[in-house]
């Protein structure tokens, strides 16, 4: 007795081909989706870079105005540069240690407390760096020396200040101010 192997029918072959094509089409769609996401990311990066060209000067001017207003203890001028939000943040040394002051009114109140005693900032504008996170959000980094009797910094002390700016109704406002104290180098390198 002879056994004859069954042949694949045309429908089975067609099903296999259809499966391969649907797999290939699905793969193609996923690649297109990934490329469009990357394209959107690149487009937002390019948009942020264009914003950098247009808005860097505005942000540098705002930072300079902020420093000048703080050094004059001009609370209304400082408040005018703050984002009107409950998320506005200023980190500072308080009588109880370092803490965050949240919301424009709390931040403004704390600046007023700072200005009741000697307070002065000495920025190193040459170190100012501005990075655009999006076209409407930017970050400023700058080295400063801060002299603030309120915080116990009787002599000008080194800090790095990181500010986050948000463009609200076409105007850049400060949303976050984080001064980070730089420790004094007290240890000498070991002799070898």
Residue 107 predicted with pLDDT over 70: yes
pLDDT given for residue 134 in this prediction = 94
Q: Would you say residue 108 lies in a domain? A: yes
- Specify the number of domains making up the chain: 1
Beta strand extents in 5-106 (DSSP E only): 89-94, 97-102
Instruction: Report d(CA 76, CA 79) in Å as an integer.
Output: 5
pLDDT category at 76 given cuts 50, 70, 90 is very high
CATH of the domain at 71: 3.10.450.50
pLDDT tens column, 156-189:
999 999 999 999 999 999 999 999 999 876 434 5
pLDDT tens column, 85-97:
999 999 988 778 8
pLDDT given for residue 18 in this prediction = 56
pLDDT given for residue 3 in this prediction = 55
Instruction: Report d(CA 55, CA 69) in Å as an integer.
Output: 21
CB of 66 within 8 A of CB of 111? no
Q: Would you say residue 71 lies in a domain? A: yes
CB of 146 within 8 A of CB of 167? no
Q: Would you say residue 11 lies in a domain? A: no
Q: Would you say residue 36 lies in a domain? A: no
Residue 1 predicted with pLDDT over 50: yes
pLDDT given for residue 176 in this prediction = 97
Domain that holds residue 171: 54-181
Instruction: Report d(CA 130, CA 139) in Å as an integer.
Output: 6
pLDDT category at 149 given cuts 50, 70, 90 is confident
- Rounded to 5 degrees, what are φ and ψ at 21? -65, -40
The mean pLDDT value of the chain amounts to 80
Higher pLDDT, 23 or 171: 171
Return the DSSP state at 107: H
Q: What angle do CA 150, 155, 157 make, to 5 degrees?
A: 90
Q: Would you say residue 164 lies in a domain? A: yes
Q: Would you say residue 151 lies in a domain? A: yes
Q: Would you say residue 20 lies in a domain? A: no
Residue 48 predicted with pLDDT over 60: no
Residue 70 predicted with pLDDT over 70: yes
Q: Choose the weakest-confidence range: 27-41, 54-68, 142-156.
A: 27-41
Count of other CB atoms within 10 angstroms of residue 90: 23
Residue 75, both tokens: 């609370």
The candidate with the shortest Cα–Cα distance to 107, out of 179, 157, 156, 170, is: 179
pLDDT given for residue 7 in this prediction = 57
Enter the pTM of the model.
0.68
Residue 45 predicted with pLDDT over 60: no
Residues whose CB is less than 8 angstroms from the CB of residue 83 and which lie 6 or more positions away in sequence, other chains included: 104, 166, 168, 173, 174, 175
Q: Would you say residue 38 lies in a domain? A: no
């Amino acid at each position: 007795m002879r056994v004859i192997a069954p042949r694949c029918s045309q429908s089975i072959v067609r099903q296999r081909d259809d499966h391969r094509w649907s797999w290939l089409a699905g793969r193609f769609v996923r690649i297109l989706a990934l490329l469009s996401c990357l394209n959107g990311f690149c487009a937002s990066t390019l948009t942020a870079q264009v914003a950098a060209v247009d808005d860097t000067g505005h942000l540098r001017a705002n930072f300079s105005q902020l420093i000048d207003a703080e050094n004059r203890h001009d609370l209304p001028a400082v408040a005018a540069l703050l984002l009107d939000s409950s998320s506005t943040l200023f980190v500072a040394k308080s009588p109880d240690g370092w803490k965050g002051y949240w919301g424009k009114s709390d931040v403004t109140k704390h600046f007023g407390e700072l200005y009741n005693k000697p307070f002065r900032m000495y920025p190193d504008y040459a170190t100012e760096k501005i990075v655009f996170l999006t076209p409407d959000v930017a970050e400023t980094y700058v080295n400063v020396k801060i002299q603030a009797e309120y915080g116990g910094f009787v002599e000008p002390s080194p800090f790095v200040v990181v500010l986050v700016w948000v463009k609200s109704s076409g105007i850049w406002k400060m949303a976050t101010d984080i001064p980070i104290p730089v420790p004094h180098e007290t240890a000498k390198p070991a002799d070898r």
